[in-house]
Structure 1
C-alpha cells in the first residue's frame, strides 16, 4: 500500500487499501507553489503556511473516523479598511466515513418547493471510493476563516449619500424613534 495519500497534498487515498486493524496517521502540507493557488481558491489574499495532521481510525470492517487538526496562517483584507489582517487558525477536524450512510431525503412541500431536513450529525458522510485529504483540509479551512476580519483599531468613518438638493439621511434618522422626534419638532414649530 502506498502512503502517498497520507503524506502528500492533493494525493488520492483509497480507504479500502488501508488495514482496518490499526490507526493510520497523516500529515500533509501544500508545497510553496500550491499556497497561492489555495489562497485564490479560498478568496483570500495569501496563506503563509498550512498543515493538516491527524489520524484515520477504523470503525468496524469498512467505516473510518478522521480526527485531525488544521493549522494555517492566512491574510485577508479588513472589512472596514481593506488593510491586510493576518490570522492564525488552529481548528479540530472530525469526519466519519460510513459505508451505509443514509443520503438526505428530499420531500416536496405543498408549494412545490423541495425541503431537506438536515441531520444533527453533520460530520458523517458516505464512504468515498478515494479520499483526498487536501480536499478535507480545504473545506475545514474555508469553514474556519473569519467571516469579517478586522484590523486592530479599525473604525468606519461616517459617510452620507443622497441625491443632489436633498438632505442626507443620518444614523440618527433611521433610529426607531427618529420619526417621533421629527413629529415633535414639527409640532413645536407650529406653536
Structure 2
C-alpha cells in the first residue's frame, strides 16, 4: 500500500472572520497536493492549479463567495487513451445562507439559483476548489485530430431502410420453423 499525500485543507471559520470584513484568498497547491487531488479526481495529472477570490459578508449572517479557478489538467483521450492536456479557466460563485433549508420530502425541485448553499460553520476552500475543478473537467476528452464518437442512440433503428427493427420479429420465424420440424 503506497502512502498517498493528503488533499490539502484551507479552512475558514466563518464565525471567527474578524469584523465581518472581506476575506481574500489565493490557493496554489504544491506538486504533492496536486498529485493527491488528481488521484481523487481519477485523472492523470494536474500541472497547474490556482484558486483565488474573495469571501464577502452579505447582511448579518450570510456570505458571498466569488473566485476564479485556473488549472491545466491531463486526462486520457476517450478514444486513443493518449494523454490530453486541457486548460480550464472557470469563475466560481456561491452564496452561503444562514436560513437555507432543504426540502424534507423525497422529491426536490432544482432551485433557480444554483449558487445557494447552506452556511457552514467552517468553509473548506480547498473542497470548493476541488468541486469546481471536477465540474469543469471535460467529460470526454479527445486527442487532437480524433473525431467524436458516433454513438448509436437507438439500437433497434436500421439505417439501411430507415425503419425501426422489431427485436422479436425473428422469433416468430423461428417458432414456425420449430413447429414444422416437430410435426414432421
TM-score over 0.5 for the pair: yes
TM-score (norm 1): 0.73
Q: 3-state DSSP class of the match of 1:128?
A: coil
Q: How many residues align?
A: 152
Residue 155 of structure 1, CA deviation: 3.9
Backbone CA RMSD of aligned residues:
2.3
Q: Which residue of structure 1 aligns with residue 21 of structure 2? A: 22
Q: Which residue of structure 1 aligns with residue 74 of structure 2? A: 75
Write the mapping of 1:95-134 to structure 2, written as runs, cut at 5 A.
95-106=94-105, 114-134=106-126
Q: Which residue of structure 1 aligns with residue 54 of structure 2? A: 55
* 5+ long unaligned stretches in structure 1: 1-8, 107-113, 159-170, 181-191
* 5+ long unaligned stretches in structure 2: 1-7, 165-184
Task: Kindly indicate whether the alpha-carbon contact (under 8 Å) linking 1:24 and 1:56 is maintained by their aligned counterparts in 2.
Answer: yes
The 1:152–1:59 alpha-carbon spacing in structure 2 relative to 1, beyond 3 Å, is same
Q: Distance in 2 between matches of 1:157 and 1:57?
A: 44
Aligned with 2:138 (options 125, 139, 146): 146
Q: Distance in 2 between matches of 1:58 and 1:31?
A: 29
Residue 104 of structure 1, CA deviation: 2.8
